[in-house]
Structure 1
Amino acid sequence: MDSTHRHALVTGASTGMGRAIALLLADRGFHVFVGVRRLEDGQALQRLARGQLTPVLIDVTRHDQIAGAARAVGEHVGQRGLDALVNNAGIGLAWPLEIVPLDRFRMQFEVNVDGQLAVTQTFLPLIRQATGRVIMIGSIADRLTPPFVGPLAATKHALLALCEALRLELAPWNIHVVLIEPGNIRTEAGGKFERDAAAALQQFDPAGRRLYADAFRAMTSRFAARHAGGSDPDVVAAVVMHAIETPKPRARYLVGKDARLFALAARLPPLVLDPLRRRIFGLPRRRGAGASTRI
């Protein structure tokens, strides 16, 4: 049992925001358990870390791996418990909702929602022992949904609801639940998004290509460009560090140079916001007269 360090678990830690969060926590004196799907990714992180970092195999869709990781972490921390759980693991899917394969849509929820809840449920006894904190890495897409990213945005809206409920349910034990809402963050996920979108386009049936190909290409190209110009993952790591250490964390943190702008835009009525989004993402205008949306 290690009683000399604070302890944290970061899921989805092999790249991007998860990696930046894990390395900063280790640098600040935490013993960090990094959830990875391949041990070699965890070993690569160990070589980069300036503090204590232990890889644990966690595919958030596999309950046996989650349970095994909890046993390993529990044996190490003992009665000290877990000071922070950072749920960062997630995947992104870009498809028009009219034609998205439902098995892929379900997988979005299995990873981004079911997986986060499964990890949280399993590790909450250790969190409770330390009066620790639960940090969820969401997205500004829980406020402002881009076209063709409906599957991903739907999971981020669901994650927001989980955080709202968990925050109230865990308050009697003084366990803070915090949602981080990044805007565009410059990570490897941007390139993967563009490659996955190109592969998805090849799988559209002829009718889907006729209806959506041009708009889908325009959106994914602009989305990838905005992602490439986004903030560094270290800014997310710094906000997570603050949310863990401050005595009174906020319920939600907007992170990144464009996040506040997007949050403000989300307050606009659809009559104003929809044409703005179509211009931003290169989508065609509405066809026919009198087609505006009034809410």
Structure 2
Amino acid sequence: MFITLFLIGVLIFLIRYIEQFLRSFYIPDIEDKYVLITGCDTGFGNLLAKSLDNKGINVIATCLTEDGAKQLSECCSMKLTTYILNVTNEDEIDNLKEMITKKVGDKGLHALVNNAGILGKDFGSPETLLMSDLTEVLKVNTVGPAVLCFKFLELLHMGKGRIINMGSMAGRVPSVYFLYGISKYCIEGLSSILSFQLKKYDWNVSVHTIEPQHFSTTLSVNRALENSVKDGYKRVSKFTKEKYPTENDYLNTFWRQLGKIPLSDRIDYVTDAYEHSILSVWPKNRYSVGNLAKYVIVPLSYFPTSISDGIL
């Protein structure tokens, strides 16, 4: 019995070693390829655009604001191009496609990185949510990325490229971030179905999903969350107000739930995963980013719901 378990362990180790070895090969002449990244004003998209630019890659970075585009352009090389894009505006997406088609020519796109996203307003108890709250988050986090995939598919086919979608562990297990979690479950579905369809119709375009654990938020994000929850208390039902008589009772409950989520400040793990999905000859289908994600959340996602909900 011991020998059998030992041999199984050795086999698993060898398979993992061979996999890591194969995935360590990077694409040659990457400097000649074009990578389109959305949501580059700040955060992961901004860091990724700068890193790829330092590697000499042709980066096409979209920003929501003029200030964001200007600041990014000022600290990067002439190879990086910025465009203003609201991912919820189909006309702007069409205009972007037209400009990029002229720019890349027959080379097409090597990668589309759907990074743009919002946390959305979180009011605590689900009964406080309006249709507009839900559609706002879905349009940015799910519908926009989906439309970008569809619109740029031909350019990606020309470049034998890949689509990289920003998912989340909030799309693998339930999260206190209600609206955000819904949108990320949708992204998981989009990536899986799109990958299946592209293989079926021989598009020669691969799909990859980045699934980070939760990372430390800025003070401004925490303040926005607090204000949202306070606004939500004005909408709660009589039932909820009986349970939480004051605004502070309601707010403290939300913060206690949020406090159960371990946060990481190693945002470089996310950009590293992004870069591997773009540069590797054999990228992974899914990148679980962070030890908590790899060794706790992903295994937990395969547990029966009655067990995983109790642990979470």
- For the aligned pair, the TM-score class normalised by the smaller chain equals 0.7 to 0.9
The alpha-carbon deviation at position 4 of structure 1 amounts to: 6.6
CA distance in 2, matches of 1:32, 1:224: 37
Deviation string 1:160-189 (CA, Å, 9 cap, x unpaired) is 11101111122212211001101123454x
The alpha-carbon deviation at position 109 of structure 1 amounts to: 1.0
AA in 1 matched with 2:85: I
Deviation string 1:44-63 (CA, Å, 9 cap, x unpaired) is 11223357211111101111
Match of 2:303 among 257, 268, 271: 268
- Structure exhibiting the larger radius of gyration computed from Cα positions: 2
* Structural mapping, 1:134-145, within 5 Å: 134-145=163-174
Name the counterpart of 1:9: 36
AA in 2 matched with 1:184: H
Q: 1:123 and 1:102, CA in 2 relative to 1: closer, same or farther beyond 3 A? A: same
Name the counterpart of 2:104: 77
Q: 1:218 and 1:192, CA in 2 relative to 1: closer, same or farther beyond 3 A? A: farther
Name the counterpart of 2:198: 170
Deviation string 1:191-243 (CA, Å, 9 cap, x unpaired) is 3442222122232226456246535534346637957x414322211111111
CA distance in 1, matches of 2:75, 2:268: 15
The alpha-carbon deviation at position 42 of structure 1 amounts to: 1.4
Q: 1:97 and 1:12, CA in 2 relative to 1: closer, same or farther beyond 3 A? A: same
Specify every segment of 5 or more residues in structure 2 that has no aligned partner in the other structure, as ranges.
1-29
Percent of residue pairs bearing the same amino acid type: 25
CA distance in 1, matches of 2:309, 2:259: 20
Name the counterpart of 2:229: 201
CA distance in 2, matches of 1:35, 1:225: 34
Q: 1:257 and 1:45, CA in 2 relative to 1: closer, same or farther beyond 3 A? A: farther
Q: Indicate the SS of the match to 1:29.
A: coil
Tell me how large the CA RMSD over aligned residues is: 2.4
AA in 1 matched with 2:287: Y
CA distance in 2, matches of 1:32, 1:38: 18
Match of 1:219 among 251, 254, 273: 254
Name the counterpart of 1:239: 273
AA in 1 matched with 2:167: G
CA distance in 2, matches of 1:155, 1:4: 34
CA distance in 2, matches of 1:263, 1:59: 32
CA distance in 1, matches of 2:198, 2:32: 24
AA in 2 matched with 1:219: F
The alpha-carbon deviation at position 39 of structure 1 amounts to: 2.1
Do the aligned partners of 2:230 and 2:251 also contact (CA within 8 Å) in 1?
Answer: no
Name the counterpart of 1:146: 175
Name the counterpart of 1:47: 74
- TM-score (normalizing by structure 1): 0.83
Name the counterpart of 1:258: 292
Do the aligned partners of 1:176 and 1:249 also contact (CA within 8 Å) in 2?
Answer: no
Q: Please say which of residues 240-249 and 206-215 is displaced more in the overlay.
A: 206-215
The alpha-carbon deviation at position 32 of structure 1 amounts to: 0.8
Specify every segment of 5 or more residues in structure 1 that has no aligned partner in the other structure, as ranges.
278-295
CA distance in 2, matches of 1:70, 1:101: 33
* Structural mapping, 1:75-114, within 5 Å: 75-93=102-120, 94-95=122-123, 96-114=125-143
Do the aligned partners of 2:273 and 2:289 also contact (CA within 8 Å) in 1?
Answer: yes
Aligned pairs, number = 271
CA distance in 1, matches of 2:37, 2:270: 13
Deviation string 1:104-149 (CA, Å, 9 cap, x unpaired) is 11111111111111111121121111111100011011111123x2
The alpha-carbon deviation at position 154 of structure 1 amounts to: 0.9
